[in-house]
Chains A and B, each alone.
Chain A
């Protein structure tokens, strides 16, 4: 009898707790269009870098993490366990759904390129982190944040690789995008980003594959890290249905 009473009390308490915390939530869809300049990106298709190298890729993946929505008053909503592996799937597109976001008006969205936080150096399976997904080095180095495997033909006609495996803490880059602002209500809103392959190889550092074509742990890898911190992912349009 006593147990039953206690249990009922607990249930009532829980009900109240839920009610207090109850806040209308909504979802937000993010789409990433993979492009090479203006063109829709395709694997095994030739593109030209700023430096004039013609190259193609067979694999292109980007980790983003710690997705945050920021209100005018500075209040931050961080999507829990937000680790997403972005890759060109359907006609270069990749979509993901952020759920349980408190309704409201948001001024900014931010996320990292790379795997932020301790999860990078752990074997935990959280979000899209998975030690068997071809993005991990090991637990002392963590994940590759941006991976491109491809090839180019050099000026004398040799077939050479384009190997871009960028990770490590210094290449973790926080991106912040201003929204107009975005009113998240009961209707589903949508943010459309572009990931531009060619931006990884320019601005500010013009990368010439004739000079360096293997980017892993070396100083040149950090140059690509600096390149992808600005312009590699940009916000193309936002739509909120009211």
Chain B
């Protein structure tokens, strides 16, 4: 077994408008070409699952921006999970992983689905034996300087691959670099997306209050990037962040996902309840459910003066909703979903 041939030199590159990221790469896991390649193989390695049928790439498919197009995914035993597989993108600008933020690092997050009984359902001991039998020890030697395969090293290599999943070549990026002239509709949508509305003064879609800046993902520091976006009322609300912190104030707060490639990652929300972007816009426009933990940035975001205590609505016009959706389509990055460096290295072997 050999490492797949290098396509191009591997380097973590990101536009300056994404912000600083080097300080979030763990010191004990610096990215290397070989580490990335090993991580890529492990990402697509079905031996990591109990019956050798699934890999990380089963639910995180490149063509779907590393989501799987399903509300919830089924593991090897056909049991469905409770939350939707998240798109894997620009993870360097994130610190707490999964919808409820319970995973403190990419290294720990990467191992969880392997052992989760309703996902890949394999013990790490077994997985390591299978990798050894497949000749992976040499590759671990190359990357880590010792041939032993350990769960720590598996987590590190998988993280190196995922940290390299940087999407920064969408039409929106091209616009930011001055290489693409957006349509009038796209420009209107961009402005609406990033504008917090002020009744009578400024029309806005209020999206950018949580989906920040060009990354369109949540705040990185602390728990600021977790919000209750009004999916449910207090009676039927999922726990969200409260499952991790135990604090009732965190009930119904979920990680604000990146909207990069959002047109490819339907269905939407942590439980995949919305099938289309139109449904998502309808939700924020007039489907918000009141609750004790509904985010204040939603409560205080409307294009009309609303009486205090009223169900918060945006009062967007049909045209404005279409404009915002046009902007969301600008976030699709064809080069990202077709980048051969991110593809399944085992598929070519069979061709």
Query: Given the interface contacts A136-B213, A138-B194, does A162 sit within 8 Å of B296 by beta carbon?
Result: yes
Contacts of B249 on A, CB cut-off 8 Å? 44
Complex-state Cα separation, A240 to B300, whole angstroms: 46
Contact check, B93 vs A125: say whether CB atoms are below 8 A apart.
no
Which has the most chain B C-beta neighbours within 10 Å: A44, A132, A138, A214?
Answer: A132
Contact check, B296 vs A132: say whether CB atoms are below 8 A apart.
no
Contact check, A149 vs B297: say whether CB atoms are below 8 A apart.
yes
Complex-state Cα separation, A134 to B224, whole angstroms: 9
Contact check, A138 vs B213: say whether CB atoms are below 8 A apart.
yes
Contact check, A134 vs B219: say whether CB atoms are below 8 A apart.
yes
Within 8 A of A (CB), among B294-328: 296-297, 299-300, 308-309
Which has the most chain A C-beta neighbours within 10 Å: B194, B221, B300?
Answer: B300
Interface size class of A (residues with CB under 8 A): 20 to 34
Contacts of B300 on A, CB cut-off 8 Å? 160-161, 163, 213-214
Within 8 A of A (CB), among B201-235: 201-202, 208, 212-215, 219-221, 224
**Complex interface bits, A145-165 against B, C-beta within 8 A gives 1, otherwise 0:** 000011100101011111101
Contact check, A132 vs B309: say whether CB atoms are below 8 A apart.
no
Complex-state Cα separation, A154 to B296, whole angstroms: 14
Contacts of B201 on A, CB cut-off 8 Å? 217-218
- Per the CB 8 Å criterion, the residue count for chain B at the interface is 28
Complex-state Cα separation, A151 to B219, whole angstroms: 19
Answer whether residue B292 sits at the interface, using C-beta atoms and an 8 A cutoff.
yes
Using CB atoms, name the residue of chain B closest to A150: B296
The stretch of B13-21, B37-45, B60-68, B138-146 in contact with A is B13-21
Query: Given the interface contacts A125-B19, A156-B308, A160-B308, does A132 sit within 8 Å of B212 by beta carbon?
Result: yes
Answer whether residue A216 sits at the interface, using C-beta atoms and an 8 A cutoff.
yes
Contacts of B196 on A, CB cut-off 8 Å? 165, 216-217
Complex-state Cα separation, A123 to B22, whole angstroms: 16
Answer whether residue B118 sits at the interface, using C-beta atoms and an 8 A cutoff.
no
Answer whether residue A40 sits at the interface, using C-beta atoms and an 8 A cutoff.
no
Contacts of A132 on B, CB cut-off 8 Å? 18-20, 93, 212-213, 215, 220
Answer whether residue B76 sits at the interface, using C-beta atoms and an 8 A cutoff.
no
Complex-state Cα separation, A133 to B219, whole angstroms: 7
Contact check, A133 vs B19: say whether CB atoms are below 8 A apart.
yes
Answer whether residue B25 sits at the interface, using C-beta atoms and an 8 A cutoff.
no
Complex-state Cα separation, A216 to B302, whole angstroms: 13
Contact check, B292 vs A159: say whether CB atoms are below 8 A apart.
yes
Contacts of B219 on A, CB cut-off 8 Å? 134
Query: Given the interface contacts A59-B224, A132-B220, does A160 sit within 8 Å of B17 by beta carbon?
Result: no
Answer whether residue A130 sits at the interface, using C-beta atoms and an 8 A cutoff.
yes
Contact check, A161 vs B299: say whether CB atoms are below 8 A apart.
yes
Contact check, B20 vs A130: say whether CB atoms are below 8 A apart.
yes
Query: Given the interface contacts A44-B249, A149-B296, does A134 sit within 8 Å of B212 by beta carbon?
Result: yes
Using CB atoms, name the residue of chain A closest to B300: A161
Query: Given the interface contacts A151-B296, A162-B296, A218-B198, does A123 sit within 8 Å of B221 by beta carbon?
Result: no
Contacts of B221 on A, CB cut-off 8 Å? 133-134
Contact check, B220 vs A133: say whether CB atoms are below 8 A apart.
yes
Within 8 A of B (CB), among A144-195: 149-151, 154, 156, 158-163, 165
Answer whether residue A231 sits at the interface, using C-beta atoms and an 8 A cutoff.
no
Answer whether residue A137 sits at the interface, using C-beta atoms and an 8 A cutoff.
yes
Complex-state Cα separation, A109 to B339, whole angstroms: 53
Answer whether residue A124 sits at the interface, using C-beta atoms and an 8 A cutoff.
yes
A131 interface neighbour in B18, B194, B308, Cβ under 8 Å: B18
Contacts of A161 on B, CB cut-off 8 Å? 296-297, 299-300
**Complex interface bits, B190-204 against A, C-beta within 8 A gives 1, otherwise 0:** 000010101001100
Contacts of A124 on B, CB cut-off 8 Å? 16
Complex-state Cα separation, A132 to B24, whole angstroms: 12
Within 8 A of A (CB), among B266-312: 292, 296-297, 299-300, 308-309
Query: Given the interface contacts A133-B220, A149-B296, does A156 sit within 8 Å of B309 by beta carbon?
Result: yes
Complex-state Cα separation, A133 to B215, whole angstroms: 11
Using CB atoms, name the residue of chain A closest to B218: A134
Contacts of B296 on A, CB cut-off 8 Å? 149-151, 160-163
Contact check, B18 vs A217: say whether CB atoms are below 8 A apart.
no
Complex-state Cα separation, A156 to B19, whole angstroms: 43
* Additional A-B contacts beyond A123-B16, A130-B19, A160-B296 (12; CB < 8 A): A133-B220, A134-B224, A136-B212, A138-B208, A139-B17, A149-B297, A161-B296, A161-B297, A163-B297, A214-B198, A216-B196, A217-B196
5 A-B contacts, Cβ less than 8 Å apart?
A131-B18, A138-B194, A159-B299, A161-B299, A217-B196
The 6 A-B residue pairs with the shortest CB-CB distance in the complex, in nearest-first order: A132-B19, A161-B296, A161-B300, A158-B309, A134-B219, A123-B17
